[in-house]
Chain A
């Protein structure tokens, strides 16, 4: 049962344009959402997160939008740069007593930014 879904295995974007990566989830208990970027032969790197009480969070070129009613979130990268080329994972975690909790990951989207 895939609770976090990234339906686009890959995405190709021109340098300078916007990249939009999408993620859907099924579990209404998820309370916090995170995006990670992964280069080959490296561990995932934390990018940006959003709590379920917000609908938008921004950090530089990265913005995450959350639509709770649709159980959908998206990551916008503007402007896209060749160094952004990597696999992007969406992750979610349920709120259990405030403790750090397990992350449930999607299968990832490979972003290729063309110069």
Chain B
């Protein structure tokens, strides 16, 4: 049983560019959450998708947007990249109404 997968593993972008990160949830999971982890910090909640809709959103600007597909996979898009967007981006999946979330290995984004 494959766990949560994310692509790409690493990414280097220039300020002002746009980036798309991808996530496939664990089999049987229908809810996908995205988190940003800066160096030395705990993961910070960006948003959550359920039934192809954004259900919750953390304190992130509109430059951060997402999508969930009918097969429950998800994308995170970030526009107009800033140096401060450099971080590890984590995807977590879960079954709705279940508290535990399972994380993928993350995508390391570097903005230069």
Contacts and interface: CB of A to CB of B under 8 A. Distances in A.
Interface of A: 4, 32, 34, 36, 41-46, 49, 89, 91, 93, 98-108
Contacts of A107: 40-42
Given A34-B99, A46-B102, A100 B48 contact: yes
Contacts of B33: 100, 102-103
Which of B48, B94, B100, B106 has most chain A Cβ within 10 Å?
Answer: B100
Contacts, number: 69
A4 B44 CA distance: 12
Nearest to B32: A100
Nearest to A91: B42
Which of B42, B92, B104 has most chain A Cβ within 10 Å?
Answer: B42
Interface residue tally on B, bucketed by range: 20 to 34
Interface of B: 4, 6, 31, 33, 35, 40-45, 48, 50, 55-56, 58, 90, 92, 94-106
A106 B41 CA distance: 8
A13 B43 CA distance: 25
B90 A44 contact: yes
A66 B4 CA distance: 29
Given A43-B4, A103-B101, A108 B48 contact: no
